[in-house]
Amino acid sequence: MEEFEPNIIGFLCNWCSYAGADLAGTSRIQYPPNVKIIKVMCSGRVNPMYVVNALQQGADGVLIGGCHPGDCHYSRGNYLARRRIAVMKRLLEYIGIEPERVRMTWVSAAEGRKFAEVVEEITKDIKKIGPMKKIRRENIW
């Protein structure tokens, strides 16, 4: 049987985490190809309903990346994101979605290594728990 390769959607802020992911690339740090990145200008742009939507539409996990507290390019977007995601993550856990599926991280533009490590970790974690089936959308109308 082919090994399960999780499909993870990553929302990364333009200024820190996306740049951190770029740095991982320019440093040629190898990491699993499972996280597909959507660039947003700020982690504060991430509507927690995107997380639900991603899990519905075939993602086995979601990663949200922002600047470290105090470093947000827009001064406070990451703080707002932290609150919103905290509430949504706990709600999803409460209804029985594995906590491993929704992750948030602070990655600075200098932390290419950290970005790769985060991807390694969540990929490994989600591989363990298997595909997201619970609220996955069946493509029937």
Partner 1 sequence: MKIGVYVCECGSNIASTVDVDKIVEEAKDLPNVAVSRVYKYMCSDPGQELIKNDIDEYDLDKIVVAACSPRMHEATFRSVLEDKGLNPYVLEIVNIREHVSWVNSDKDKGTEKSMALLTGAVHRSALMKPLERKKVGVIHTALVIGGGIAGIQAALDIANMGYKTTLVEKTSSIGGKMSQLDKTFPTLDCSQCILSPKMVEVNRHPNIKLLSLSEVVAVDGYVGNFKVKIKRNPRYVIEDKCTLCGDCLPVCPVIAHDEYNQGFSPRKAIYISYPQAIPASFIINPDDCLGIDPLICTKCKEVCGPEAIDFDMQPEIIEEEFGAIIVATGFAPYPIENIGEYGYGTIHDVISGLDYERIVSASGPTEGKILRPSDGKIPETVVFIHCAGSRDPSKHLPYCSKICCMYSTKHALQYKHIVHNGTAINFYIDIRTAGKDYEEFYQRAAEEDKVIYIRGKVSEVLKDGNQILIKGVDTLSGETVELHADMVVLATGITPSEGTKEMASLMNLAVDINGFIREAHPKLKPIDTAIAGIFIAGTATGPKDIPDTVSQASGAASKACGILSQDELEIEATVAIVDDSLCRGCGMCAEACPYSAIEMQVINQYGHSTRIAYVNEAMCKGCGSCAAACLNGAINQLGYTDSQILALISALGGD
Partner 2 sequence: MVDLKNLIEITKKIVSREDVRYVVGYKKGTYGFQIMPAFAYTPEDAEDFIYSPVCSKNLAVYTILEEKLPLKRGEEEDKRKIGVVVKGCDSRAIVQIIQEKGLKREDLVLIGIPCKGVIEPKKIEKMFPNQTDLIDVIENDNSEYIINIGGKTHKVPKNELLSDVCKSCEFPNPPLYDVLLGEEVEITEIEEFSKIDELDEKHTEDKWEYWKRHFERCIRCYACREACPLCYCKECMADTLNPQWIRRSVNLSENAAWNIMRAYHLAGRCVSCGECERVCPVNIPLMELNKKIERDVKKMFDYTSGLDEEEKPLFGMFKPDDPEDFIL
In whole angstroms, give the CA distance from residue 117 to residue 95: 28
Which of partner 1, partner 2, none sits in contact with 3, Cβ below 5 to 8 A by type?
Answer: none
CB of 12 to partner 2, least distance (A): 13
What's the token pair of residue 29? 């740090």
Interface residues with partner 2 (CB under 8 A)? 48-49, 52-53, 56, 69-70, 76, 79-80, 82-99, 103-106, 118, 121-122, 134-138, 140-141
How many alpha carbons lie under 13 Å from residue 44 in its C-beta half-sphere?
15
Among partner 2, partner 1, none, partner that 74 touches (CB below 5 to 8 angstroms by kind): partner 1
In the complex, least distance from residue 14 CB atom to partner 2, rounded to whole angstroms: 19
Q: Which is nearer to partner 1, 37 or 129 (CB)?
A: 37
* 109 neighbors 16 (Cβ within 8 angstroms): yes
- Give me the residues that bind partner 1 (CB under 8 A), please: 5, 7, 9, 18-19, 21-22, 24-26, 28-33, 36-42, 44-48, 50, 53-54, 56-59, 73-77, 80-81, 84, 116, 137, 139
3-state secondary structure of 104: strand
Q: Closest Cα to residue 109, out of 22, 26, 28, 20?
A: 20
Give the amino acid at 107: V
